[in-house]
Structure 1
Amino acid sequence: MLLKFSRNGRTTKALSCLLSEGFKRNARPQQAANLLRPSYLLFSPDISFLRRPSLLVKRVVCWLSVNYQISSNSWSDPMDTNEASSCLVEQLAVDPERQSSSPACPNDGDEKESVFKGLGILDRFLAVWIFLAMAIGIILANFVPNAGPALQEGTFVRVSVPIAVGLLLMMYPVLCKVQYETLHRLLRTRRLWIQIAFSILLNWIISPFFMLALAWAFLPDEPELRQGLILVGIARCIAMVLIWTGLADGDGDYCAILVAVNSLLQMVLFAPLGVFFIQVISGDSVSFEYAMAAKSVAVFLGIPLGAAILTRFTVRGLASERWYDQVFLKWIGPWSLIGLLFTILVLFASQGRQVVHQIVSVVRVAAPLIVYFIIIFFATLFICYRLGFGYKLATTQSFTAASNNFELAIAAAIATFGANSDQALAATVGPLIEVPALLGLVYAVKLVAKRLGWKD
């Protein structure tokens, strides 16, 4: 809902900007009204009321009337735009040139003056929480000797129970936001199938071969570490890419479709590609369990996906669409990042001792991963930009191409080579580099879009 007051057919941006920002943050008119504080209306750069005291009185009346109407009216009752627009134009736009420079409504180019403007404390300082979770996990692994073995005692689909719980918790809230009721309309469009074909090319041909090339370039003398890195390259992301896309304001519905396609292909292609890249090309003798890879994808995507679809249609049917969108989603939203932080903490508490003791190996694996994330992401972004894709689609494709399913890579490495193998170590280094790298790319892509004026 975006309220705009007009006079003589021209939109008055001052109140419109304030209200739209309020709805964008909170989606509730009562809270949007809090933006209309007296400091905005009484202490704007226009100080002409000092020469004309009547303006001060009119400003106070305008603020009271607007504030009262917003807080008292229902969602479906429109405000009287005639009187309100006249009042607002006269009080906030006495000088049209000064209207757009008022701090109450910044210029269009300054609408996103910070990368995560309007996000909560958990989202805004996500990088801090991630590094803190990593640090706590490594400290627990090295100073609490029983922490690692205790966390690995129980397993679910060959993944420790705490990590499995964290992965499911991380996936569920994100998938609840997808508008499944509109997907059938998207599937009828030629544009969607073009995006799917482009994503398959990036994820299953270009990215795995590029990771294979980097593995051989950086680790020619370390076959075990190289094999673990190859596993990371062929495990396409089906979880955290939804979080990165959401933080970067990408297209969540397209991302969900691409994730579903990659999940189905992963169940079919992961084991054959593992054999092809490691046994055929590299000449190493390694056997992969096809059932294990398919089961991991079915569990860590299928369970939260089914639960999310059931929740969305059930809750929206029993309560209301408005309550689901404005109350339920806001309540469960933070649990996705909480699940991410919990997963990272448990992961590094389980493997942190090995990470510290083999720091040289960690650095050697980290180098090709950094190159991979940066080149794949920006190359995809550049191609999408040149092809004329909108910002949301380009961002979604870039994060989908650059992200990897480190959960599946770790599970496959542990199941095939053992928990203490170098292959498992290389797979564990994946999230150590991927999480902060892709978080940095979230900031980077927003800055690039702002510089280029790139919008949909």
Structure 2
Amino acid sequence: MSLFERWLTLWVALCIVAGIALGQLFPAAFRAIGAMEVAQVNLPVAGLIWLMIVPMLMKVDFGALRQVGRHWRGIGVTLFVNWAVKPFSMALLGAVFIGWLFRPWLPAGEIPSYIAGLILLAAAPCTAMVFVWSNLCRGEPNFTLSQVAVNDAIMVVAFAPIVGLLLGLSAIVVPWQTLLLSVGLYIVVPVILAQGLRAALLRRGGESGGEAGLQRALAAIGPASLAALLATLVLLFGFQGEQILAQPAVIALLAVPILIQVYFNAGLAYLLNRWTGEAHCVAGPSALIGASNFFELAVAAAIGLFGFRSGAALATVVGVLIEVPVMLSVVAIVNRTRGWYEAGPAVRRLAGR
């Protein structure tokens, strides 16, 4: 791990502070950047996400995707956590913390809306950023891509029914434009671009081509990927700095169930993978996919259902604010516990076959 990666948590903290400060100093500039949207998808942020995930997608060998079936345990665990546990556990956490424990300190009229926002956040698994988390924990790139693709396919048909069930609404207005545009921007186009670059490098002759040339190119563009992550943080916190400073107590209270949710689902996926004997390079991204959220879709759905200034919209924005720092902590836990994970009886037994 490079010196830059080793101190990534520090750079993240500095970018959070810088984003909030710049948002206050240059509000017009951040409003202009924030207005560059199509179907609630911010185009500058989408561009930075491309810089983040294209290097990871260049590692994907589509010829090896047929071997992903060997990791059926990891796929099964992630699907179970994403669709049978996460939305329902968040509904329970929202009811306990927001609807009961924290009720005296929250605006009474907004409590149902806050809980709805938390549910919307949990019902949509992450699409783009998970490639970054998988790369940081040395995850299997083919597994990560195939798992995200499966989740996207399920999300198209399952998001509305699950949210409708948990919110008690008979007709959920799914922001289809946001959902389909996000899948296109964060999966389809980056995959095509990354695979085109990969094929061009592998075809090229001499020292700059072939497998060695591909690895050199990946090493060269790796820092740009992390720099894009930090720039995204500056933008996100610049966009939301006013809300953070205006309602710090409400945001802190809303963050509690989200934090518990992330660690619970990541821990559950990680332990289930260890119990079933899955390899660590699959268990890491499985835990991270199981814990992270597709916040663009959640924010768009909250605004569409409850309005821009609703408690639901604010709750989904809190998910945006804490996503990167919390997921980095999960990455650190996964990396530091690799020895313990691989000492599991089922992992050792299947690794020896």
So what's the TM-score if we normalise by structure 1?
A: 0.68
Deviation at 1:259, TM superposition (A): 1.1
Contact 1:266 1:294 in 2 (8 A): no
Q: How many residues align?
A: 332
Which string of whole-angstrom CA distances, capped at 9 and with x for unpartnered residues, describes residues 119-156 of structure 1? 22331211111111111111122233324322222213
Contact 1:297 1:408 in 2 (8 A): no
1:142 to 3, 6, 24: 24
Shift of the 296–322 alpha-carbon distance from structure 1 to 2, 3 Å rule, reads closer
CA distance in 2, matches of 1:160, 1:245: 23
Deviation at 1:234, TM superposition (A): 0.8
Identity %: 31
1:310 to 196, 207, 222: 196
Question: Which residue pairs with 2:328 in the alignment?
Answer: 439
1:237 to 118, 126, 131: 126
2:164 to 251, 271, 275: 275
Letter of the structure 2 residue corresponding to residue 333 of structure 1:
G
Question: Which residue pairs with 1:263 in the alignment?
Answer: 152
Deviation at 1:326, TM superposition (A): 2.4
Q: Which runs of 5+ in 1 are unaligned?
A: 1-118
1:218 counterpart = 2:114: no
Deviation at 1:300, TM superposition (A): 2.0
Letter of the structure 1 residue corresponding to residue 85 of structure 2:
I
Q: Which runs of 5+ in 2 are unaligned?
A: 100-107
CA distance in 2, matches of 1:302, 1:400: 18
Where in structure 2 are the equivalents of 1:298-377 lying within 5 Å?
Answer: 298-319=184-205, 320-377=209-266
Question: Which residue pairs with 2:34 in the alignment?
Answer: 152
1:200 to 79, 82, 90: 79
Contact 1:157 1:292 in 2 (8 A): yes
Deviation at 1:366, TM superposition (A): 0.4
1:177 to 43, 47, 59: 59
CA distance in 1, matches of 2:81, 2:142: 19
Letter of the structure 1 residue corresponding to residue 40 of structure 2:
R
Deviation at 1:448, TM superposition (A): 2.2
CA distance in 1, matches of 2:188, 2:143: 18
Contact 1:155 1:161 in 2 (8 A): yes
Letter of the structure 2 residue corresponding to residue 382 of structure 1:
L
Shift of the 416–166 alpha-carbon distance from structure 1 to 2, 3 Å rule, reads farther
Deviation at 1:194, TM superposition (A): 4.0
Question: Which residue pairs with 1:390 in the alignment?
Answer: 279
Contact 2:34 2:42 in 1 (8 A): yes
More helix by percentage: 2
Letter of the structure 2 residue corresponding to residue 339 of structure 1:
A
CA distance in 2, matches of 1:356, 1:153: 21
Contact 2:71 2:282 in 1 (8 A): no
Letter of the structure 2 residue corresponding to residue 158 of structure 1:
Q
Letter of the structure 1 residue corresponding to residue 130 of structure 2:
V
- Secondary structure of the 1:420 match is coil
Letter of the structure 2 residue corresponding to residue 157 of structure 1:
A
**Stretch deviating more after TM superposition (230-239 or 261-270):** 261-270
Deviation at 1:453, TM superposition (A): 5.2
CA distance in 2, matches of 1:231, 1:149: 25
Question: Which residue pairs with 1:133 in the alignment?
Answer: 15
- Secondary structure of the 2:27 match is coil
Deviation at 1:286, TM superposition (A): 5.6
Letter of the structure 1 residue corresponding to residue 189 of structure 2:
I
Question: Which residue pairs with 1:63 in the alignment?
Answer: none
**Stretch deviating more after TM superposition (349-358 or 289-298):** 289-298
Shift of the 448–129 alpha-carbon distance from structure 1 to 2, 3 Å rule, reads same
Letter of the structure 1 residue corresponding to residue 200 of structure 2:
T
Deviation at 1:452, TM superposition (A): 5.6
So what's the TM-score if we normalise by structure 2?
A: 0.86
Shift of the 321–414 alpha-carbon distance from structure 1 to 2, 3 Å rule, reads farther
Deviation at 1:304, TM superposition (A): 0.8
Deviation at 1:401, TM superposition (A): 0.8
Contact 1:384 1:394 in 2 (8 A): yes
Letter of the structure 2 residue corresponding to residue 195 of structure 1:
G
1:162 counterpart = 2:44: yes
Deviation at 1:418, TM superposition (A): 4.1
Which string of whole-angstrom CA distances, capped at 9 and with x for unpartnered residues, describes residues 242-288 of structure 1? 222221222222112111111222233223333332234xx8x8633
**Stretch deviating more after TM superposition (393-402 or 417-426):** 417-426
- Secondary structure of the 1:146 match is helix
Larger Rg: 1
Letter of the structure 2 residue corresponding to residue 241 of structure 1:
V
CA distance in 2, matches of 1:245, 1:160: 23
